[in-house]
Structure 1
Amino acid sequence: MLVSISIFFIVYILMVTEKLDRVVAAMLGVAVLLLLRAMPYETALESIDLDVIFLLVGMMTVVDILAQTGLFEWVAIYIAQRAWGNPLIILVGLLAATAVLSAFLDNVTTVVLIAPVTILITQILELRTTPFLILEALFSNIGGTATLVGDPPNILIGSRGGLSFNAFLLNLAPIVILCALAVFVGILLSQRNTLKTTGALRARIMKAHPAKAILDPWRLKRGLTVFFVILVGFSASRFLNVQPGIIALSGALFMIVYTKSSLRASMEKVEWETILFLMGLFMLVGALEHNGLFREIARHLFGLTQGHLFATSMAVLWASALLSAFFGNIPVVIAMIPLVHSLIDSMQGQMNLHQSPDLLNAYVAYPLWWSLALGACLGGNGTIFGAAANVVIIQIARRNGYKITFKDFLRYSVPVTVLTLLLSSVYIYFRYFIFSPL
């Protein structure tokens, strides 16, 4: 375990300080782990989340084909005109759209779709692009927390905890809406005097004709047809028992054929640096999971609460948030789920709730499961490496000439993460303890 921890933190420091390119640092760390046999080769491969990789490759291909038609220029002009060229209204609108889309698609797909539009709007109005992109990554994670399908940790919790789509919606949507509104207020207070553009630029955007941005109507119609089929596939993925990544990749290949696009040109536009970086990150964290780091941390933490349900719920919330911020929320959730199960079983015996499954859920299981979901999803906002959407938005920014440093990201992420976790703590206390059925 010591070897994998040491290598992870060395790589982490190299990435944070930017002494070495992030992709090189991550892949070099994986190579050292494998050479030192700190993790079996098979385990390294198994730790890569292929669904995320396929989803990214597929959606990046789809976005590139649609971008060639002028669609994103049209959307950018349309949004800017509907907001009268007001930067603050545009920002709030983009963030609201990001949160809503993330709840019903997934946060990675959402940022891949929203980022190109955002970059175009900020370029047209000569605004700083990086705050928009960082906040969109944060809102994609906030919005994705609301539903079963919005964030990979929720899919894992729902599957292994036996929780339905409606259960997620009824229990998490209220606090997600509250968190989003609170962050909106913070943005309005902090950005109202900084987000400004000139009257000349606003006048120019109002005179623009969105229809002239469309370069290839024939390919656009065909591309949008396939795109909507992909979206329907995402919404039905659980019923079809097909992973979203497979749907995205299959849809992208079909779009290439149907729009008569070039496979080679489309593959060249995929952010392969992002793909390699995520694969390296998955394997680095996989080594920590393989060596039992997360299990040990969680076991010691839960031992401190001594069976007190509210204290345990808060421990789950804040520990999963802190761990997710630094190690990524997917492996943290995988490690925490068995511990939550064992806690539920032990408390079921203590409270003699064997014959009352409804009361068990309401009083014991729900506080713990929702604490884990909120901690992992919202804690993923803590650093660049906390969630896949964060990594993707950073790489998209870099490819378009915008550099977002670790410090830049923290300037926005820390206040948002702390605020949303505090609100979540209050929500759990009042909903499941003050207004508890027992």
Structure 2
Amino acid sequence: RKSLLGINHNLKKEQLKRVVPEEAIEDRLLMRYGLLSLLITVFLLITRDSIRKILPINMAMASLIPPFVLLSIKGRHPKLKEIIKEIDIETLLFLTGLFVIVGALEKTGVMRTVALSIKNFAKHPLGMAGVIFWGGAITSGVIDNVPEAISLGYVIRNLSSLLTYSFTLLIWAASLGLDIGGNFTPVGASANVVGYTFMESHHGKIGWGRWVKLTILPNLVALLVCIAGLFLKYIIGFY
């Protein structure tokens, strides 16, 4: 923490007071278009199941249509080449590869095999929730938690026909385990990958050892609190 604080030791309070965030916005119209594009993307992702009854739109199309429309309207930007150079291609390729692997595992039936291998726990709600929770927390430390969430989603879907209780319990178990477990390593979450890459390229080597050393204790405490809350909510009939 001291080393991170030392990075900006020459930055005075007077300098911070003179900073005007609005001045960083060079094209207000483009910013509005960008925010509108983001809102439309979120809307399409939320309502795509209803829209598919009218238009054959999938998740990929819902994510790509608004940005492509934005590019067609305001694609010519004076700093476009500079912006493209700043894109972290390595991170994008890394995340793309993970999604391809997850898709391949689902198409080849591996996810169904995993679901069947743990079906013996399905009769016991707390046992099943524990397997999903801790399994997700551990694996999301070495696999990005976004594709890992998709993987567990497929597993829960394959298990749903065997459950005698609400699958909401398993969804919460997966969500909490994956979200917090992803902080164990630099590659456990997309934000970690971006942040770790940025810090290493601008402020020197950090290393996995240092990251894990700083995150393991608070993450374990958070996981224990979450699993206790999850079990308590099930016992009192929340799910």
TM-score, with normalisation over the residues of structure 1?
Answer: 0.43
Q: Are the counterparts in 1 of residues 102 and 150 from structure 2 also a CA contact under 8 Å?
A: no
Question: What CA deviation, in whole Å up to 9, does each residue of 1:29-87 have, x standing for no partner?
Answer: xxxxxxxxxxxxxxxxxxxxxxxxxxxxxxxxxxxxxxxxxxxxxxxxxxxxxxxxxx9
Query: Following superposition of structure 1 onto structure 2, how do residues 367-406 of structure 1 map, counting pairs within 5 Å?
Result: 367-406=169-208
Name the structure 2 match of 1:425. 227
SS in 2 for 1:386: coil
Name the structure 2 match of 1:206. 14
Residue 335 in structure 1 maps to residue 151 in structure 2: yes
Q: Which of 238, 247, 262 in structure 1 is aligned with 2:45?
A: 238
Shift of 1:330: 3.6
1:432 and 1:248, CA in 2 relative to 1: closer, same or farther beyond 3 A? farther
Name the structure 1 match of 2:28. 221
1:408 and 1:306, CA in 2 relative to 1: closer, same or farther beyond 3 A? same
Name the structure 1 match of 2:129. 313
Q: Are the counterparts in 2 of residues 285 and 327 from structure 1 also a CA contact under 8 Å?
A: no
Residue 276 in structure 1 maps to residue 93 in structure 2: yes
Shift of 1:314: 1.0
The AA in structure 2 aligned to 1:269 is: E
Once residues 153 and 16 of structure 2 are traced to their aligned partners in structure 1, the CA distance between those partners, rounded to angstroms, is 53
The AA in structure 2 aligned to 1:238 is: L
Name the structure 2 match of 1:412. 214
Once residues 173 and 23 of structure 2 are traced to their aligned partners in structure 1, the CA distance between those partners, rounded to angstroms, is 48
Q: Are the counterparts in 2 of residues 329 and 387 from structure 1 also a CA contact under 8 Å?
A: yes
When the two structures are aligned, how many residues end up with a matched partner? Answer: 227
1:246 and 1:396, CA in 2 relative to 1: closer, same or farther beyond 3 A? farther
Once residues 70 and 169 of structure 2 are traced to their aligned partners in structure 1, the CA distance between those partners, rounded to angstroms, is 39
TM-score, with normalisation over the residues of structure 2?
Answer: 0.72
Question: What CA deviation, in whole Å up to 9, does each residue of 1:250-304 have, x standing for no partner?
Answer: 54675554xx42322221121122222333444456566666555545543443x
SS in 1 for 2:237: coil
Query: Following superposition of structure 1 onto structure 2, how do residues 24-423 of structure 1 map, counting pairs within 5 Å?
Result: 128-129=3-4, 204-206=12-14, 208-211=16-19, 219-238=26-45, 241=48, 243-244=62-63, 246-248=65-67, 250-251=69-70, 254=73, 257=76, 260-283=77-100, 295-303=112-120, 305=121, 307-348=123-164, 364-423=166-225
| Larger fraction in helix | 1
The AA in structure 1 aligned to 2:226 is: S
Once residues 135 and 32 of structure 2 are traced to their aligned partners in structure 1, the CA distance between those partners, rounded to angstroms, is 44
Once residues 154 and 94 of structure 2 are traced to their aligned partners in structure 1, the CA distance between those partners, rounded to angstroms, is 28
Is there any run of 5+ residues in structure 1 with no aligned partner, and where? 1-86, 88-126, 130-194, 349-362
Once residues 228 and 306 of structure 1 are traced to their aligned partners in structure 2, the CA distance between those partners, rounded to angstroms, is 43
Shift of 1:227: 4.2
1:280 and 1:207, CA in 2 relative to 1: closer, same or farther beyond 3 A? closer
Once residues 427 and 249 of structure 1 are traced to their aligned partners in structure 2, the CA distance between those partners, rounded to angstroms, is 43
Shift of 1:207: 5.4
1:320 and 1:210, CA in 2 relative to 1: closer, same or farther beyond 3 A? same
Bigger relative CO (Cα 8 Å, ≥ 6 apart): 1
Shift of 1:425: 0.6
1:315 and 1:214, CA in 2 relative to 1: closer, same or farther beyond 3 A? closer
The AA in structure 1 aligned to 2:174 is: L
SS in 2 for 1:326: coil
Q: Are the counterparts in 1 of residues 114 and 155 from structure 2 also a CA contact under 8 Å?
A: no
Q: Hey, which bits of structure 1, 4+ residues long, moved more than 6 A? A: 212-217
Once residues 203 and 72 of structure 2 are traced to their aligned partners in structure 1, the CA distance between those partners, rounded to angstroms, is 28
The AA in structure 1 aligned to 2:182 is: G
Is there any run of 5+ residues in structure 2 with no aligned partner, and where? 49-60
Shift of 1:365: 2.1
1:397 and 1:234, CA in 2 relative to 1: closer, same or farther beyond 3 A? farther
Q: Are the counterparts in 2 of residues 230 and 251 from structure 1 also a CA contact under 8 Å?
A: yes
